[in-house]
Structure 1
């Protein structure tokens, strides 16, 4: 299979149009090949540091200090394993998870999978709307309703990217991630955590999960970590690299992309750890162990740290988090629609539809519940994502273990055992989280 470069500039959101558009030099030195394959992992990593993750990390840090840090680490390791499966599927087959699901399942099952995948996109976008609206509210003192409406204009940003190539989009994501990362480095320097206690929190401890409340938060962290739309997204965007279809080239591409994936998700892990450490040092250590809302965290940072700069930086990183997630949500939406339905629409229309569907519950929630709606709707969005996850994980593991599809790149036995174990643990944790949230179990 030979890849053909498009002859005209296209928006970087249509998967089939950017497939094979990033050149790869087969004889390049190792460091240069790493740079050529770097990028898709960054786009995927955005989903692991969106506003939905902030809520669980802030609450965990404020209530229990650093004791749940190991949960963040273990959840991220699970995410690395599963995203590597998605990457392997895309490179080895030349197709993405959505397109393969359409081809391998009955039309009814494929449509059901598509509907669930679209719900996960809207749920993620709801978290991005809430995070962006809250950031506008904190930075510019506008009402939360006005902040929600302001997030509608991110469609203009997407339109502004029309004609950019995929490497430009990856560079923009790197800039936004750097903004979040640098922001938290500065904030941690201002807060001055007790690093020996932080190191102790990295050690797994069943005692830390001995009661219902920390267990609930731990499962919330796990449930918010692996997101279904990221599995569809990753299997598609790794195909932007022009890889020859011989065994050696595919094997090399998988190896390079694995490094990109792991490094990018380590960055996301460090940022999630920084959020929890910040909450532990600023709130739990000072007796403020009931901070469960992002807005409360913002208001408390300035008096505790002694600098209003820390609070402003917190809001800026929140805005960067929401905006970066907007881009990847648009790309994931295009992947899912094109893969399951063979349907292409302009990226701005896709962005507009998704954002409109997310704005409705956000506006209704804010009008009915006021500022308290943010925390409750963020939790609701994570529950919706939890319900979708097994329906993306199951076909991913089945397909990557199928030798008739993957050939020599099918999962070996240890990988299959690990993948199914993660499927069982994550699915059980998500079901428990949903049952707890709706009150089915006490």
Structure 2
């Protein structure tokens, strides 16, 4: 099982050998643009429209403050990935217990589903507004983009980044024209940068804006995407990568700030100015733009930007889902299967709610998705700050004391504001419920459980001993049970190992064939993108761990009297294993399987079929 984050594109973008200056910076630019779309996704639109229509330009400062917070947090996320070559989910897996990680994984999956729900609704509303497609049909139509991510990732990371940047450009240019049509009062725009709260209702909107702006999945995503760059891993090389990625984040997140501010300013210059203070639904905003601005292009550009925001966000949201699953569980699923599952989790509740309650509830669904995201936010921010503050993890690149103080202050502000948002929502449910007893025995205990978990992850790293991760790939900690050796006339046996439970059966059957006198060669394949691109020249954490595990196997089996050699292959197992076997003087190849067929093969893939057609010796298949 690969330990590389997004292994399909890991270190796939070359930065070494680039000229200095702008061309060097350009090689690093890209990951933050994929992050920026999360800060302008449809979930943000509702809060920005509500803030602008109710309070005019007064809450622009909240967007600016949110952007500064986001910039610091995203720079911490990038630092974690660049220095440790670990994404946030992987770092969590190596720090917390299995039980805690399962809970964190579950919460992160809920956040991804909530995020995807907002993106599905945003795209569906955009299609509905632009083409008149019924909302339920538009929601179902979003299934068709299921394979877009797979197509883009197969084209390479730079192509994917170019696609996302193109969508961001569409959003940006759409709102440049919207600003021209709306003609906002620039004096009031500047005055809106001065902190103020017009009333108690403004606090609620401000909390919503912050909660919708700083999103948990972006922290997981950024720590992984920065690892797509291959650079010199010296001290100077890491410093340079940190500097260029900060430039990347600054440019991209300021573009996101422009889009969010433009949405709020558009609402202020049209709805608030016309005395329409209650406009909060995206559909209402679209409907009133043309009569208020007197321009037929205003609603069209609004819908186009909404579709672009939904499409770009859904691509990055799915990437985040893959990172979270692989990071927390060390489990890979085929990208298209992961894509369908994530999309169905978002579509099914959306279709059911819209079918039962009508299209008027889409705004409430969007707000609900942001509340769910709020619950998850602290569980991403707090571990992140712990990790980048850890001197041993960060190898001398830990954050400074002032940055640490600023980070914890931001975490306190965000978690406190989001806790208030969640508290208000639960209080509202209790006040309006016909039978609040059910809520008192379900929702309220759940909220307290989240609170205790949050306190645990705040204080646990201060007292925990570092976990040793060498056995992370091997669920049985390399302790195999042996059966008595048999006799076999052939004496050179190759055995594939993947550090899973299948190894025990494969090795015991090999020993039964060859006995104590045979020569055994253990073959393992490193499957990272770096291994695919650079072969045995790759130098990364995954290869180092696999080499150590093979050495552990060799020592353990040698101590039992067996003659053991080891071989590492690099790239795809279906190609690497046959290459070693055909170049060696082996009599038989023994392969273990996980005992899955049919649907599980479709999800997890199979190596045996590929290998058996490419080798020129007998293949002994052991079903685990």
Q: TM-score, normalised by structure 2?
A: 0.67
| 1:286 paired residue number | 274
The equivalences for 1:83-232 within 5 A come to 83-161=74-152, 163-205=154-196, 208-209=197-198, 211-232=199-220
Task: Choose from 13, 19, 25 the match for 1:22.
Answer: 13
**Distance (Å, rounded) in 2 between the aligned partners of 1:312 and 1:27:** 42
**Distance (Å, rounded) in 2 between the aligned partners of 1:398 and 1:48:** 24
| Structure 1 residues 217-273: Cα deviation after superposition (integer angstroms, max 9, x where no partner) | 001101111111110110011011102221110011001101101110000001000
- Pair 1:419 & 2:407 matched: yes
Task: Choose from 32, 35, 45 the match for 1:41.
Answer: 32
| 2:382 paired residue number | 394
What is the CA-CA distance between 1:116 and the residue it aligns to?
A: 0.9
| 1:434 paired residue number | 422
What is the CA-CA distance between 1:159 and the residue it aligns to?
A: 4.0
Task: Choose from 347, 351, 372 the match for 1:363.
Answer: 351
| Structure 1 residues 153-193: Cα deviation after superposition (integer angstroms, max 9, x where no partner) | 11132343352100100000100000000000011101111
| 2:306 paired residue number | 318
**Distance (Å, rounded) in 2 between the aligned partners of 1:235 and 1:148:** 31
| 1:6 paired residue number | none
| 2:49 paired residue number | 58
**Distance (Å, rounded) in 1 between the aligned partners of 2:381 and 2:414:** 10
**Distance (Å, rounded) in 1 between the aligned partners of 2:384 and 2:301:** 39
| Structure 1 residues 58-114: Cα deviation after superposition (integer angstroms, max 9, x where no partner) | 000011100000001001100000000000000011111111111111111111111
* Contact kept in structure 1, 2:16 and 2:232, CA below 8 Å: no
| Structure 1 residues 100-156: Cα deviation after superposition (integer angstroms, max 9, x where no partner) | 111111111111111111111100000011101111111111211111111111113
Q: Which has the larger radius of gyration?
A: 2
What is the CA-CA distance between 1:369 and the residue it aligns to?
A: 1.8
**Distance (Å, rounded) in 2 between the aligned partners of 1:168 and 1:289:** 42
**Distance (Å, rounded) in 1 between the aligned partners of 2:153 and 2:10:** 17
The total of aligned residue pairs comes to 427
**Distance (Å, rounded) in 2 between the aligned partners of 1:212 and 1:439:** 17
More helix per residue: 1
| 1:9 paired residue number | none
Between 1:136-145 and 1:13-22, the stretch displaced more is: 13-22
**Distance (Å, rounded) in 2 between the aligned partners of 1:331 and 1:267:** 21
**Distance (Å, rounded) in 1 between the aligned partners of 2:5 and 2:141:** 26
What is the CA-CA distance between 1:305 and the residue it aligns to?
A: 0.7
Task: Choose from 223, 232, 238 the match for 1:235.
Answer: 223
What is the CA-CA distance between 1:437 and the residue it aligns to?
A: 1.9
RMSD, matched Cα: 1.4
Between 1:430-439 and 1:182-191, the stretch displaced more is: 430-439
What is the CA-CA distance between 1:280 and the residue it aligns to?
A: 0.4
| 1:300 paired residue number | 288
* Contact kept in structure 1, 2:5 and 2:86, CA below 8 Å: no
Unaligned runs of 5+ in 2: 432-624
More strand per residue: 2
Moved over 3 A (4+): none
Q: TM-score, normalised by structure 1?
A: 0.94
| 1:253 paired residue number | 241
* Contact kept in structure 1, 2:164 and 2:312, CA below 8 Å: yes
* Contact kept in structure 2, 1:383 and 1:433, CA below 8 Å: yes
What is the CA-CA distance between 1:347 and the residue it aligns to?
A: 1.4
**Distance (Å, rounded) in 2 between the aligned partners of 1:198 and 1:111:** 46
* Contact kept in structure 2, 1:101 and 1:110, CA below 8 Å: yes
